[in-house]
Amino acid sequence: MEKLSNCPLCGSTPIRQIMHTKDYFYTGEEFNLYQCENCEVIFTNPRPEAGSLGKYYNTKNYLSHNTKNNGFTGRIYSLLRKKNIRYKYKLISHLTPKGQILDIGSGTGELLDYFKKEGWTTRGIEPNKKAREFAVKNYNLTIGDENELERQEENSFDVITLWHVLEHIPKANERIEKVKRLLKSNGLLVIALPNPTSFDAIHYGAYWAGYDVPRHLFHFTPQAFVNFSKARGLKIIKTKPLKFDAYYVSYLSEKYKQNHPALLRATIPAWRSNLMANKTGNYSSLIYFLKKETPTGY
């Protein structure tokens, strides 16, 4: 494990522990959450060394890599994914009607398959070999591993998407710089993130499934993401919710608390989270739509 004494985004040393939690999803290992007093990002600390991160995904229950989606949780995930894909397509095509899209963290390829059927030119990046091979075989998609990013031409994509991906990446600053180089001058960058200031996050505390330590290395509040975007030369032009995420995350959180029946118990907190977010904008998950501009630095 790597113990951090300064912020992994801005390098600032005033950091403070704000929560103690654990990997309820898989290993049961304990972790702390720290917050940077400068850029305000929350981060997992200690964090696994880069070479050992993969073992925390090495389970059939990690559904974005699961090619079968068996079991009750898998069926719920599959249903919500289908609804979310249609919703995501509608949002993106409203801003960019057609073009070339790169999906980073493309999983088993369902989103890219939808875009491809709508006439888009698609390409994906997926580090998990099993998920990548499934997408290529079943949907005839062009998907490479992370090394494929280096082989893409600059200014070549109209849209680049990271759906619940940025929080997993150890060197988030470097990744965003690579993404910016690949994006056309007026291209659209779409980043979806869990929101630790949402009602369901506050309600479940250390049990909130949106923290998903240690797979999630960063936990961006809306203000922290504004700070991160400005520093990296990106302007947020629109924010939209992923309302179904409140129900899925609340369901997992109830399971982590060993409350049964988890789905029934999750319904009211998820409903309240979306209801309150209708006024505050603090949904369980947020989609940020961004354009390139001059970076300000931290």
What phi and psi values does residue 200 have, to the nearest 5 degrees?
-65, -30
Domain boundaries defined on the chain: 60-201+232-292
Each of the 298 residues of the chain gets a pLDDT tens digit; together they read: 999 999 999 999 999 999 999 999 999 999 999 999 999 999 999 999 988 888 898 877 664 545 555 566 667 777 788 889 999 999 999 999 999 999 999 999 999 999 999 999 999 999 989 999 999 999 999 999 999 999 999 999 999 999 999 999 999 999 999 999 999 999 999 999 999 999 999 999 999 999 999 999 999 999 999 999 999 999 999 999 999 999 999 999 999 999 999 999 999 999 999 999 999 999 999 999 999 998 888 7
Whole-number pLDDT of residue 58? 81
**Of 14, 19, 129, whose CA–CA distance to 65 is shortest?**
129
* Record: fold of 60-201+232-292: Rossmann fold (3.40.50)
String of DSSP letters for 134-179: HHHHHH---EE-GGGGGGSPTT-EEEEEEES-GGG-TTHHHHHHHH
Q: Is 248 in contact with 194 (CB distance < 8 Å)?
A: no
Q: How is residue 264 written in tokens? A: 């029934």
Residue 16, SS3?
strand
What's the pTM?
0.93
Beta-strand ranges (E) seen in the chain are 15-22, 30-36, 42-45, 100-104, 121-125, 143-144, 157-163, 183-194, 218-219, 234-241, 285-292
Whole-number pLDDT of residue 65? 47
CA distance 271 to 152: 42
CA distance 223 to 231: 12
Whole-number pLDDT of residue 262? 93
Those residues whose C-beta lies under 8 Å from the C-beta of residue 280, and which sit 6 or more positions away, are none
Whole-number pLDDT of residue 89? 97
CA distance 286 to 191: 8
